[in-house]
Structure 1
Amino acid sequence: MNYRLIHKSVDTQPKTGSYSDWKVQISEECFKQCIYCTINEVNWGGIDHYHIDHYRPKSIFKDLENDICNLFYACPVCNRFKSDDWPNEPDLNLPSYPDPSLTDFSTLFEYDETAYQLNGRNISAKYIINRLYLNRPQLIYERREAFLKNKELDLFNNIVELAKELSDADLLKQTFETLGKLRNHLAKRDWIRPYKLAEIRKP
């Protein structure tokens, strides 16, 4: 997983406009990916399709609507799942949302590399996984694809180096098996159904 601590500062507060005008800045601060599921904006067709997440919901914290330290980047699905939800102030022992600028989300989750699923290390993390549906089928697919691509690249690089000196039949076999799995996996993309409204509006 590619979680990163998001660096926020009052010093970067724009002098003019409102949060909808600062999308490029917020995207860059959040490494152009959803702070909750880590899917890059490229997978959704670019910045136009991503949302600005009010960490503390603007419907509850009206004075923070245009506070740069309260604004993060989220994919449309995670943002809709979160919506105006604010069960408690940040506390790892309660259902809540840790502040992405104070907590590295990689410390919240354990990643099951065989099932490509996230597991929470505390109550807060488990709540986020359930509320934002962070093990939804499309995310499992993306994680599996990323794993296979990285595996393919590693094997390819190893083959290139070894091919300079010797012929390794086992490594060649492993490489071609992985390439075959990747090819078969990518062929399934067209069969993955799009998000249903019922999933996007999951309570």
Structure 2
Amino acid sequence: MIEQAIRNSVRRAYQYRCGYCGVHEDEAGTLLKIDHFRPRSAGGDSELENLVYCCPTCNRRKGDFWPVAEQVTTQRLWHPHRDHLDEHFFEHLDGRLIALTETSAFYIERLQLNRPPLITLRRTRREVALMRNGLKLAQEEQTRLRQRVETLSQALDEVLEQLAHLSISSLQPGETSGKT
């Protein structure tokens, strides 16, 4: 059993997300599990470097997998913190993960990282990010337009003041501006 303090450290280290598929515990609706990257059955320990915060599905799919000697080059799992995952696969616009190497293809397949709910989640996250970016740009434009309106309003006040001054100074003594 893993102590609560260690569990909390792992949760924070993984920003409350599955280290394998990226699902947040809020999206999962529950606390995630602590996985031994190198399983205890293969000599793994409970040191922080060997612990991965992961969702129940990834935990079940990974199981106690650990490559045998002849599989080490192609059939292995990337460590979420030690390996640079963006060098091994990328996210397609449709939400699927695309493998860049044979090992990455194994990783995606083993953990079923292209399961429909994850594809939908990635697509939704992308759409939300685009909407947030659009909102940010709209707010920046709104601020710019407000500043422009303020500048134009000040310029209009100055012009009106000058017109009033010209109108008063152009009247001859004894004249009025009204028609009779």
Q: Which residue is equivalent to 2:53?
A: 73
Q: What is the identity, as a one-letter code, of the residue corresponding to 1:161?
A: E
Number of equivalences: 144
Q: Could you say which residue in structure 2 is the equivalent of 1:9?
A: none
Q: How does 1:1-203 map to 2 (within 5 A)?
A: 18-21=1-4, 22-47=6-31, 50-61=32-43, 64-88=44-68, 93-113=73-93, 115-163=94-142, 164-165=144-145
Q: Is the Cα–Cα contact under 8 Å of residues 92 and 122 in structure 1 kept in the other structure?
A: no
> Percent of counterpart pairs with the same letter?
27
* Cα distance, 1:100 vs structure 2: 3.0
Q: In structure 2, what is the Cα distance between the partners aligned to 1:45 and 1:102?
A: 27
Structure with bigger gyration radius? 2
Higher helix proportion: 2
Checking the alignment, whether the CA contact within 8 Å between 1:92 and 1:98 is kept in structure 2 is no
For residue 109 of structure 1, report the CA deviation from its aligned partner: 0.9
Distance in 2 separating the partners of 1:92 and 1:86: 9
TM-score by length of 2: 0.71
User: 3-state SS of the aligned residue for 2:114?
Assistant: coil
- C-alpha RMSD over aligned residues: 2.3
**Which 5+ residue runs of structure 2 have no aligned equivalent?**
147-180
* Distance in 2 separating the partners of 1:27 and 1:140: 23
Q: Which has the higher contact order (CA 8 A, sep 6+)?
A: 1
- Tell me the amino acid that sits aligned with residue 60 of structure 1: A
Aligned-partner residue type, residue 141 of structure 1: T
**Counterpart amino acid of residue 32 in structure 1:** Y
Residue 20 of structure 1 deviates from its aligned partner by 4.7
